[in-house]
Amino acid sequence: MSDYDYDLFVIGAGSGGVRAARIAAGYGVKVAIAEERFYGGTCVNIGCVPKKLMTYLASYAHHAEDASGYGWDIRAESLDWPKFVARKNDEINRLNGIYENLLKNNGVDIHWGKAVLSGPNTVRVGDKEFTAERILIATGGKPVFPPIEGAKEFGIVSDDIFYLPEMPKRLVVLGVGYIGLEFAGIFNALGAEVHVIYRRDKILNEGFDEDVRVFLQAEMTKQGITFHPETNITKLEKQGDDILVHLDKGKTLKADQVLFATGRKPNSEGLGLEELGIKLAKNGAIPVNREEQTDVHSVYAVGDVTDRVALTPVALGEGHALVDRLYGGQDRYLSYENIPSAVFSNPSVAQVGLTEEQAREKYGDEIDIYKSDFRAMKMILAERDERTFMKLIVHSQTDKVLGLHMVGQEAAEIVQGFATAIIAGATKADFDRTIGIHPSTAEEFVTMRNKVG
């Protein structure tokens, strides 16, 4: 019998924390979890899940428009925004319940409240103190406001956008990462006037293939979004019902809402870490070694609070692999290579593997490029001027597919399957001998024959 109250005490019932807690408990060890806000963390409550529901909401506007080209008389004339928000909240409540049951059914003790480390093996939650052989921090991250006058007073971050009482008719977005482009696409499709402000000359960042960045920007512009490159916001102020958005290029925009999508910060404040001797990175991230251990070896951390790859499936994978090693006798580590990801913009982007720029840096001229740019079949009768882009990056010496990129409808659904092929080491010849599923958009990936670079 252990001398501790728990073998594992997890702080944070988000993606990584819940996965680690329930899998560890399944191995028969004594586990507790502390949470102060909601079951499921950012992803379930104010991230991936409600965002994806909003992309579905927005997609109906286009479906209704497209249907007329096929002979239907369907109109998406008025949106009952409060109804959507209420339905979305119901679904999130349902998911909160599922997360709670997952923990309870696996025998995890739940302690509600803010948890603070009071020693290398002790956690305080409210007026109770618990001992644990190991403590796992999985407290995630939160959006940050940039230091712009009036930003906090008049602007919002992604946490707020899911609970707006009214749908904004005029939206200004600062930032062209995942969050900025996803909400720009959603509100544009819902009929809002959308302006996107960013300080670079291209949207997305260098983690995305340059062709993808250029193609997506052109498509989103066609959809009606106004992009303001190499621009920043200097100040927000209120004038009646309008928010005045002053730009450094002298222009002023009027908005109903201004979304700051300028990155996220690890949630490591007030946990008692520095008092314990755990030195945090400048942005608050908790540094960990390969075993997910902090400087104090009984204290571990996974997920966004470590600021490595801030994606839900990565947090899940880190938490799961950790407890498989600690309690399941498995020598299993998460691979950070070939992590597929998607931006649920409109059209969406999905990718796995290297960008052309990364591949050229690694392999020089030993790179073959295949590209395809076409109008998907569905768009023709719909008379929608929207194109799809696909790109393969192949290592000419080994024939291995190093990178696969797509901009188009259902990109995430299509790229997920190809990600397995790439992780398995698929070659271009393997792609070529794969029979296409016809007619589909996805088949284009297995019928690319002409090298373009």
| Binding stretches for ligand NDP (CB under 6 A) | 146, 174-180, 198-200, 205, 232, 261-264, 310-311, 341-344
Please confirm, yes or no, whether 195 is among the known catalytic residues. no
Q: How far is the CB of 157 from ligand NDP (least distance, A)?
A: 8
| CA 53 from centroid of its chain's CA atoms | 14
Residues in contact with 307: Cβ distance below 8 Å, sequence separation at least 6, in sequence order: 141, 266, 281, 283, 284, 285
Q: For ligand NDP, which is the closer residue by CB, 103 or 301?
A: 301
Which residue in 228, 246, 320, 438 is the catalytic one?
Answer: 438
Please name every residue paired with 324 in a beta bridge, in sequence order, or none if there are none.
none
Q: How far apart are CA 60 and CA 39, in angstroms?
A: 29
Phi then psi for residue 252, to 5 deg, are -130, 130
Burial class (CB in 10 A: 0-12, 13-18, 19+), 233: buried
Q: Which is nearer to ligand NDP, 43 or 135 (CB)?
A: 43
Nearer to ligand NDP, 199 or 254 (CB): 199
Q: Nearest approach, Cβ of 305 to ligand NDP (angstroms)?
A: 13
Give 42 or 122: the residue with its C-beta nearer to ligand NDP. 42
Q: What residues are annotated to the active site?
A: 438
